[in-house]
Amino acid sequence: MTSVIVKQGLDFLDSPAVVLEILVVICLLFLEFSLASLHKGGFGERV
């Protein structure tokens, strides 16, 4: 039973659309973090 769930999970992660979506989310988070850092006055002032 567990192996079937794992197999479905791997097939799901193997889907190009899902990988692309994850990459987009990571990029958006990185951009948001970068803009917030610049807004605070540079990368040296990380909280």
| Per-residue model confidence as pLDDT tens digits over 4-44 | 878 887 777 778 888 889 999 999 999 998 888 877 765 55
Q: Does 21 reside within a domain? A: yes
Q: Does 28 reside within a domain? A: yes
Q: One-letter amino acid identity for 46?
A: R
Q: In the predicted model, is pLDDT for residue 46 greater than 80? A: no
Residue 19 lies in domain: 15-40
The 3-class secondary structure across 4-44, one letter per residue, is HHHHHHHHHHHCHHHHHHHHHHHHHHHHHHHHHHHHHCCHH
Q: In the predicted model, is pLDDT for residue 47 greater than 60? A: no
This prediction's pTM = 0.49
Which one has a higher pLDDT value, 47 or 38? 38
CA angle, corner 42, sides to 41 and 46, nearest 5?
A: 95
Domains held by the chain: number:
1
Q: Does 26 reside within a domain? A: yes
Q: Does 20 reside within a domain? A: yes
Q: Does 25 reside within a domain? A: yes
Q: Does 27 reside within a domain? A: yes
Query: What pLDDT is recorded for position 12?
Result: 73
